[in-house]
Structure 1
Amino acid sequence: MFELNIKKVAMSAVAVTALTAGTAAAQEACTNYTVSDGDTLATIAIAAYGTSNYQPIFNANRNTITNPNALEEGLVLALPCEDGSLPNGQTAQEIIAAEEARAASVKRSSVYEPPIKLVTGNGWAPFADETLNGGGFITRLGTTALQRGGNARDYSVSFVDDWNSHLETLLPLGAFDVSMAWNMPDCTNRSYEWSWETEVRCTQFDSSVPVYDVVIGFYSLPESDYAGATTLGDLKGSTICRMDGWFIHDLEAAGLRAPDATLMQPITARECLDAVLTGVADVATFEVQLFADTKSEMGLTEKDIVENPFVTTLSSLRFISHRSNPFGKQYLAMLNRGMNEMRESGEWYAIVSDTLREHNEKLMAASN
């Protein structure tokens, strides 16, 4: 993994506006910040960017942050810039262009090999969505990886929005080779009773190396008893909302399943936040980027709904193939090689930051 010395990535235009409005803060974008006692990633993000979405800070400091809930006093964090520049002074676009030019100069084999059939789904911007350049950054990372690390493999990309169908029919029947991107449980942990979903993921699918680490937050009303929970176990007895098709193995492992907790699974994040606001659910839980976007779309503030500062889970998005696919492990190995090279060259970080910039610009345009 390449080291980030200045660490600059694209942040939201909302953040830029907040910075240029003139409010002075100890935490400023494009600087290194030393963590003080009581700091959290969310409070740092709010002070530096005017948004509670701290996923970009987490991305920029992934090698340093081991637990987003427990920042050590004195830890030095690089706070990303809004312009997409990377530590070596190149912009994200410059790094991507240089890597594409280098890959184009590699001699390709004349032996025909069928394109690898990739599938993902819409409605999960900035991760996967046809409206974004390259289909979102998870899609861009997958397609780029097939041209890096010694790979030169053709591919096709399809978007099937019924995510559950990827697991239930599309990959098992061989309609596609690899699906992007999925949270995989720790399949070595049998200390809890696996759900059908966890059983299927662990016994029927193989997965790539981690592609992107997401922080999963837990959100409740400010006055809720669960707002001050310090462990996942403290959420026992609650009604928890996480969307249909999302993983639940982190909840299962903490004992948050019937009869100790009630799980709601609507379709959208907005429905989960509505359930908390109306008292139908006690806690909503999904990744912090989606929370920041949905909260903004709904016009909510910290007076309406808050993120628990003590309880989060981490999960890695991966590429998966079905074990019945005779070439599945080979394709995943190719993706792994490409991903490893992209992390070393900085292209991984460039693609992520470039897509975040595009996504946030679209959100700003839609709000105007």
Structure 2
Amino acid sequence: MLCNVKNMARGSMAVIAMATLSTTAAAQEACSDYTVKDGDSLGSIAQTAFGTFDYQMIFNANRNKISDPNRLEEGTLLEIPCADGNLASGKSHQDVIEEQEAIQAARAKKSNIYEPPIKIVSGNGWAPFTGEDLKGGGMLVRVASTAMQRGGNDREFTVSFVDDWGSHMETLLPLGAFDVSVAWIKPDCSKYDLLNDESRKRCDEYDFSQPIYETVAAYWSMPGNDYANVTSFADYAGARICRVDGWSTADLNTEGLNDPVVTFVRPNSAKECMELLAKGDVDMVSLDLENGAAAASEVPEAAEALPNPNLSKLETLHLITHKTNPRGRVYQALINRGLTEMRQSGEWYALISDSLVDVNNLSN
């Protein structure tokens, strides 16, 4: 069952009936520890602590204890962040970030051997993850840039934005115009035979970094649509499904939802998907919770769109390099080394939380 509805703070969706979520969580407060009880969900815990079903900060703060946000084990001790995303047991986001930047500055050494700058590409229209108008280029661009600095000892790199996401995989990385793209869902390549051609291409042609973020895939419909509350993926047979061009449909493909079982509509932005949903031109929009909520807030006619309360999937986001890039695996090693260091130091969580708070402040 989908336990989280994102994002009440942004006012991007109608209030979900309390009956769709467990409400047995005992009272708890932000900036405290909480022991999971029978019947709790991340959504119900967040509702009690923050007055919203947005559980992303709790999930991020306890990533080492939660493997699936839809399933909590009774007795698990969770750390509930403060309202600003900081942890009561640790330093503030800014203190952690500044401390790690000082450490990096002290150890940085410039090599006498010329190495070409690493060319990183991302795209706009994916708040809070990426966007030129967001702090540091968005949450995932900040993580990617910092990982490159930490793992590459201040190796020079550039960040550009190309909004045609499909071109990243079709031309820009294969032809060497860019080295690294931020960021992509990795399909389950162990289920290769169930994947469509696009997802198989990812398995065949691309290398993936360690996960830089985990997000919940959600399936949005308008109230009253025949597919709004289906209880299995098989029930989506015959549906018209909107997914942004270039974005993976592997979460649906591995459930048997390929053409012609369903019809995929592939516009260039999440906002366009929500516009099509509001007009009745598609039955379901496949978007992560955060991006779906942000897109719905941009389309007044889609204000009542809601994620299916019965179905969701946890997906991991990665940085990708093309396998023909002669330096691609070197870059992956730098990125992975940096990500490991960031998670160990607490900088990963600090950057993620700082970015989410920044986007929420812009939206309010």
What is the aligned partner in structure 2 of residue 175 from structure 1?
Answer: 177
Which secondary structure state, in structure 1, belongs to the residue aligned with residue 321 of structure 2? Answer: strand
For residues 272 and 37 of structure 1, do their structure 2 counterparts lie closer, same or farther at Cα, with a shift above 3 Å needed? farther
Structure 2 CA distance for aligned equivalents of residues 265 and 44 of structure 1:
36
Specify the alignment match of 2:66 in structure 1.
Answer: 65
Task: Kindly indicate whether residue 124 of structure 2 is the aligned counterpart of residue 122 of structure 1.
Answer: yes
**Distance in structure 2 (CA, Å) of the matches to 1:83 and 1:101:** 23
Contact 1:122 1:159 in 2 (8 A): yes
Task: Please tell me the residue identity of whatever aligns with 2:130.
Answer: A
Q: Residue by residue, what CA displacement relative to the aligned partner does 1:4-33 show, whole Å, maximum 9, x if unpaired?
A: xxxxxxx99669xxxxxxxxx935433334
Q: 1:233 to 1:79 in 2, by over 3 A?
A: farther
Change (3 A) 1:314 1:211: same
Deviates more, 1:66-75 or 1:319-328: 66-75
CA contact (8 A) 1:148 1:341 kept: yes
- Give the partner amino acid of 2:143: L
Matching residue of 1:156:
158
Q: 1:353 — aligned with what?
A: 353
What is aligned with 1:144?
146
Supply the AA of the counterpart residue of 1:359: V
- Name the CA shift for 1:34/1:280 in 2 (closer, same or farther; >3 Å): farther
User: 2:274, 2:302 within 8 Å by CA — same for their partners in 1?
Assistant: no
Quick check: 2:32–2:88 contact (8 Å CA) kept in 1? no
In structure 2, the residue matched to 1:228 is 229
Q: Quote the residue 2:216 is aligned against.
A: 215
Structure 1 counterpart SS, 2:154: coil
Q: Does the C-alpha gap of structure 1 residues 338 and 204 become closer, same or farther in structure 2, counting only changes over 3 Å? A: same
Q: Which residue of 1 aligns with 2:344?
A: 344
Residue 314 of structure 1 and its aligned partner are, at CA, apart by: 1.7
Return the offset for 1:289: 0.9
The alpha carbon displacement at 1:292 in A equals 2.5
Q: Give the match for residue 86 of structure 1.
A: 87
The correspondence of residues 269-280 of structure 1 with structure 2, limited to 5 A, is: 269-280=270-281
Residue 104 of structure 1 aligns to a residue whose secondary structure is helix
Measure the CA separation in 2 of the matches of 1:41 and 1:298. Answer: 27
> CA 1:268/1:120 → structure 2, altered by over 3 Å: closer, same or farther?
closer
Note the 1:1-368 alignment, pairs <5 A: 26-86=27-87, 88-111=89-112, 112-149=114-151, 151-192=153-194, 194-298=195-299, 304-364=304-364
Code of the residue aligned with 1:334 in structure 2: it is L
Contact preservation (8 Å) 1:33, 1:78: yes
Deviations 1:75-111 (Å, cap 9, x if unpaired)? 4433322224235431111100000000111151432
Say if 1:35 and 1:72, in contact at 8 Å, map to a contact too.
yes
148-157 or 121-130: which moved more?
A: 148-157
Please say which of residues 123-132 and 50-59 is displaced more in the overlay.
50-59
8 Å Cα contact 2:125-2:269 kept in structure 1: no
Amino acid in structure 2 at the alignment position of 1:163: W
Comparing 80-89 with 239-248, greater Cα deviation is found at: 80-89
1:218–1:308: 8 Å Cα contact kept in structure 2?
yes
C-alpha deviations, 1:228-259, integer Å up to 9, x for none? Answer: 33332332232222222211011111011222
Deviation readout 1:265-324 (Å, 9 max, x if unpaired): 22333333343344332222211111222334445899x333223311122111111111
* Cα pair 2:164 2:268 within 8 Å, conserved: no
Q: Provide the rounded CA distance (Å) in 1 between the counterparts of 2:105 and 2:156.
A: 13
Stretches of structure 2 lacking an aligned partner (at least 5 in a row): 1-6, 12-25
| One-letter identity of the residue aligned with 1:177 | D
State how far apart, in whole Å, the 1-side matches of 2:77 and 2:293 are: 24
Contact kept in structure 1, 2:121 and 2:182, CA below 8 Å: yes
Q: Are 2:207 and 2:321, in contact at CA under 8 Å, matched by a contact in 1?
A: yes
Q: How far apart, CA to CA, are the structure 1 residues paired with 2:306 and 2:39?
A: 17
The 1:46–1:269 alpha-carbon spacing in structure 2 relative to 1, beyond 3 Å, is farther
**TM-score, length-scaled by structure 1:** 0.84
Range that drifts further, 130-139 or 32-41: 32-41
* Alpha-carbon distance between aligned partners in 2 of 1:130 and 1:14, rounded to the nearest angstrom: 20
